[in-house]
Amino acid sequence: MTTTLSGERSAGVASGLLGLASAYLLGHTLASFSLDPVRSYSLALFGVLLFRVVLDRTEDLWWLRVRSRHRYQWGQELDSFIATGGSGDIVSLEGAVEHLVNGVGLEAARVAAGVSFLGLGVLCFNGGWLTLLVFLGVMGCSVPFYIRAGRRSERASADFDERHRVLGQQQLDILRATPDLRASGGLDFAVTTIVAVSESEHRLVRQTLRETIGSSLTTEFLGGVGVGLAAMVVGFGVLDRSRSLSDALVTLFVTVEIVTRLRRYATDFHRRSDAARATALLAVLDPAPANAADTITGAFRVRDLLTQGMVTPLSFDLARGQSLSVYGASGSGKSSLVDVLLGLRAPLSGSVSRAHLATGLIRPTASFFRASVRENLGLGTASDVDILATLEALGLGRSRYAELDVVLSDDGSQMSSGERVRLALARALLAGVEVLVFDDVAMLLDDESRHLVAESVTNRDLTLIEVTQGARIVVTPDFLVPLGEI
């Protein structure tokens, strides 16, 4: 981020200086042209005017590009964050990226506004001390207004957002209750409610807006008056021949330039806080410091582990190729135990060390992508023959999933839970896992398929962990551990 900030600052300096220079040149060329309208002056004036337009447009395009690049980079970071198992409110993270991207260029605008104050020197040199004094006086008066307007608009926009959110929520409540409202004959009432609520909100917001616009317009007003007064002072100077036309025009355009730069920053000022909030929100995307690699010889080493719902601490060592079965009633903390063992959740107390082996987690809620069976199970590496053989071994050889081009629905709504479990297992086996963890899935399988599943996992050299309420896939585990109040 720091390199971007310094880049933005240099861009701001360049844009501020170029703006001042073009204002200066515009004053001179316009004066020469109007005193002696010959073609060469007209060409010069054309050049300067075009240069100003090109400068504006180039800046726009440049920022468009920078924003695109930022959006792209943040999009990539968000994607890798998600792909590596990061969780969070993805929708609000996406919103934060947008806010951050929109905040790009604010620093440049700030710096450019600062740089434009160099124009005060030009003002003094070309416009005389009186112009400078008048302008500084007006600007000095407006500084407190600028600050107040900035604060107010920041506060008002937060306030507005909040009200808008509440109103939107109320509206959504109504939309979500629509069938009930309709059944009770209350739709007309709902519409009346919306109108009444919106209108009372409108009155409040209008009040806030009146204040905000009022104070931000005070600054615009003072800017206008500053330009007008400067024009008047140099104008009278020109009339009584104490000042040349080119000095007068230069003074005028430089004044306009300073005011424009200031106003440009002031109107975007409130986006600063949005961008700051977004930065804080996106801090989660920074990769967490990697844990020191566990150097254990076995597969799992668990010491005095307590998780949600467990009553007695659990300790065990599981070597590679061994199997463990944990049984307990519902609510005894089985699923949390699985999460903690696999590092998806922190334990309440105790420690878990795990060799980093490819692990297949088989639970009833296994997720698939909206893609073909081939992509979902083969993961781009397994051959069709292997996929079909694995499906056959799990008793899915004659199911519709043996058609490898069939597209799975992402929410699995058309899949029975038994099929889902077996597909997840097929995916894990094809990925060549060394550890398999079954989270209470045995009861979802009928006897025949449970037998097939047991056969295909026990005749490989796999480390197996199963938590269950009763029925087991791993029929003869090396260790059998009870959970719960025993």
In the range 384-423, which residues lie near another protein by CB under 8 A?
A: 410
| CB 371, min distance to another protein, A | 7
Calpha distance 286→293 (Å, rounded):
20
Measure CA of the first residue to CA of the last residue in the chain; give whole Å.
56
Residue closer to another protein, measured from CB, 111 or 378:
378
* Token representation of residue 264: 């440009």
445-484 binders of another protein (CB under 8 A): none
252-281 binders of another protein (CB under 8 A): 252-253, 256
Calpha distance 93→80 (Å, rounded):
13
x/- string (CB under 8 A) for another protein, residues 16-55?
Answer: --------------xx-xxx-xxx--x--xx--xx--xx-
| CB 401, min distance to another protein, A | 17
Can you give the length of the chain in residues?
Answer: 486
Instruction: List the one residue from 5, 6, 10, 64 that touches another protein (CB under 8 A).
Output: 64
Instruction: List the one residue from 140, 228, 397, 482 that touches another protein (CB under 8 A).
Output: 228
155-214 binders of another protein (CB under 8 A): 168, 170-195, 198-199, 202, 205-206, 209-210, 213-214
| CB 315, min distance to another protein, A | 23
Total binding residues toward another protein, as defined by CB under 8 A: 117
| CB 300, min distance to another protein, A | 13
* Token representation of residue 332: 């005894």
Q: What is the DSSP secondary-structure string of 296-363? A: -SSSEEEEEEE-TT--S-EEEEE-TT-EEEEE--TTSSHHHHHHHHTTSS--SEEEEEE----EEEE-
The sign of the CA dihedral 473, 479, 480, 483 is negative
Calpha distance 252→242 (Å, rounded):
16
Residue closer to another protein, measured from CB, 75 or 137:
75
Residue closer to another protein, measured from CB, 111 or 249:
249
Instruction: List the one residue from 55, 136, 225, 404 that touches another protein (CB under 8 A).
Output: 225
What pairing do the DSSP bridges indicate for beta strands 435-439 and 463-468? parallel
Q: Which helix (H) or strand (E) holds 145?
A: helix 119-176
Q: How many Cα atoms are found within 13 Å in the side-chain-facing hemisphere of 351?
A: 5
Residue closer to another protein, measured from CB, 91 or 292:
91
| CB 178, min distance to another protein, A | 5
Three-class SS state of 412: coil
Residue 90 contacts another protein per CB under 8 A: yes
| CB 259, min distance to another protein, A | 10
Residue closer to another protein, measured from CB, 94 or 294:
94
| CB 97, min distance to another protein, A | 11
* Token representation of residue 463: 């480390």
Scanning 107-115, 250-258, 266-274, 284-292 for contacts with another protein by CB under 8 A, the matching segment is 250-258
Residue closer to another protein, measured from CB, 209 or 452:
209
| CB 19, min distance to another protein, A | 15
317-356 binders of another protein (CB under 8 A): 342, 344
Query: Pick from 207, 479, 465: which is nearest to 354 by CA?
Result: 465
Residue closer to another protein, measured from CB, 367 or 476:
367
Cα separation values, 122 from 15, 29, 386, Å: 17, 16, 79
User: Which residues have CB under 8 Å from 5's CB, separation 6+?
Assistant: 107
Query: Pick from 3, 53, 45, 5: which is nearest to 27 by CA?
Result: 45
| CB 486, min distance to another protein, A | 30
95-114 binders of another protein (CB under 8 A): none
Calpha distance 377→114 (Å, rounded):
59
